Amino acid sequence: MKFNKWTVALAATGVVSLASVMQADESHPVNTALSSTTLSGYVDTSAIWNFGTGNTVAKRFVNTDSSRQDGFNLNSVKLQLEKPIDEGTWSAGYKVETMFGPDAAALPGKVGTGVAIKQAYAALRAPVGNGIDFKIGQFDPIVGYEVTDSVANPNFSRSFGFNNLEPFGHTGILASYQVNEIIAVSAGVANGDSTFDNKVSGLGGGLQGGSLTAGSSRGVFAESSKVYMGALSVKAPESAGWLSGSTLFVGVVNGDRTGNKNDPTLLYTGVTLATPIEALSIGASADLLFNANDGAAGKSYANALALYAGYKITDKLKLNNRLEYATSGNGSFLFVPPNAGANPARLAGGADKVIGETVTLDYALWANVVTRAEFRWDHAADGRGAFDNGAKNDLSLLANVVYKF
């Protein structure tokens, strides 16, 4: 091996050794494979105070369900390993997200108590046109304004549509293609035992936190049962002026149940809108679910609408607001209270309507730390006393602290 004169000079003075230089110059397969891999994650904690007595809440994601009220909570710890794919070549990469803690129980990839594989897929690129990207394995859903990681959402608590209508993940294959700087499309197929088919089967009878009455193992549905999905996004170019960056997203997810005419279908539309006021951002989403139940329940429906607004008060302080309205024919959003009486419709879940208002104050005080205070109000708009002691309103106040690394 040849060394340049500077290396020889440093070795002569004892600053470096030739052996260490030779070792550093060698190519190790492990180092080569991991050279582009990044490690990241977070620790997510919260404290919640529910006004009044009792802890009956609307059907929410596990991080704010009844078990988290009036106390301190460790929600989740996430570790992520990722090697992104390169541009314009036959490149490959991967992504693995492992979640630990109570929130993991709601995810489709749970492998034990408090442990779940949130995502684990091989990423492949075929240099056809602008490049077709594939995800093969377990991946996040392609629809939804919000995501599983609370730190990536404008609010800590989740929307009604996220928890009750949208899938949490799929196991299958997804192809994505960027047509141009404005239009992108994606399409995929996944197993029929995904959280989408399981979730909509259990509407009206599930447990708080998105627990699934239909189970999550292969065999709940026919062997050939599959979930099909597709999406289209349109992004305003830089030439659109203050509208630049605004995005319209339309997606559909269909759960195919062999031998059953009532295949559940979710239509999703979301929009993020830039405004002439640089500090102000606006968004909206609509989840429309058809054929939510089958069998004795017959064809049913569930819809959730949400309006989002964010205002950056200072460089460190931001105010986020979410206003929701959700309705269904099968008790998708509100639980039947113990004092429901003998009304069969109420005992079975029945139709429900709920209004939700969530205000979140986000202040970046420490580096790599998200600190938020949030107020949430849920109102049973169908007239039933859906909460404790026959109350029509549920109010809560929470604090959320997340360290990201």
> What's the longest Cα–Cα distance across the chain?
93
> Is 392 within a domain?
yes
Q: In whole angstroms, what is the distance from residue 183 CA to residue 232 CA?
A: 7
Q: Which range marks the domain in which residue 285 is found?
A: 41-73+154-404
| Confidence category of residue 251, pLDDT binned at 50, 70, 90 | very high
Evaluate whether 46 touches 75 at the Cβ level (below 8 Å): yes
User: Per mean pLDDT, which of 34-48, 110-124, 286-300, 355-369 is the most reliable?
Assistant: 355-369
| Confidence category of residue 24, pLDDT binned at 50, 70, 90 | very low
More confident residue, 150 or 255: 150
Give, in order, the Cα–Cα distances in Å from 287 to each of 145, 164, 208, 232, 324. 10, 10, 20, 15, 11
Buried-state track 84-114, b at ≥16 Cβ within 10 A, e below 16: ebeeeeebebbbbbbbbbbbbbbbbbbeeeb
Tell me how crowded residue 129 is: count the other CB atoms within 10 A of its CB.
9
The predicted model gives 388-404 an average pLDDT of 95
Q: In whole angstroms, what is the distance from residue 133 CA to residue 88 CA?
A: 10
Give, in order, the Cα–Cα distances in Å from 72 to each of 64, 116, 194, 333, 377. 11, 22, 31, 25, 20
Q: Report the chain's mean pLDDT, rounded to a whole number.
A: 83
Instruction: Give the residue carrying structure tokens 């749970």.
Output: 110
What is the reported pLDDT for 87?
Answer: 79
Answer yes or no: is pLDDT of 25 > 70. no
pLDDT digits (tens, 9 = 90+) for 26-78: 545 555 566 789 999 999 999 999 998 888 999 999 999 999 999 999 999 99
> Is 149 within a domain?
no
Instruction: Give the residue carrying structure tokens 């009206």.
Output: 204
> Is 296 within a domain?
yes
Expressed in angstroms, the distance from the first to the final Cα of the chain is 40
Phi-psi label, residue 70: left if phi above 0, alpha if psi -120 to 50, beta otherwise: left
User: Per mean pLDDT, which of 82-96, 204-218, 308-322 is the most reliable?
Assistant: 308-322
Evaluate whether 62 touches 209 at the Cβ level (below 8 Å): yes
> Is 114 within a domain?
no
Evaluate whether 289 touches 264 at the Cβ level (below 8 Å): yes
> Is 16 within a domain?
no
> Is 297 within a domain?
yes
| Confidence category of residue 23, pLDDT binned at 50, 70, 90 | very low
Percent of the chain with pLDDT strictly greater than 70:
76
Evaluate whether 334 touches 384 at the Cβ level (below 8 Å): yes
Give the CA radius of gyration of the chain: 24
> In sequence order, which residues have a C-beta less than 8 Å from that of residue 319 and are 6 or more positions away?
310, 311, 313, 359, 360, 361, 362
Three-class DSSP category at 347: helix
Residue 181 is part of a domain; what is its CATH number?
2.40.160
Tokens representing 198 are 């399981």
> Is 320 within a domain?
yes
> Domain total for the chain?
1
Among 51, 114, 125, smallest CA distance to 84 is for 125
What is the reported pLDDT for 1?
Answer: 55
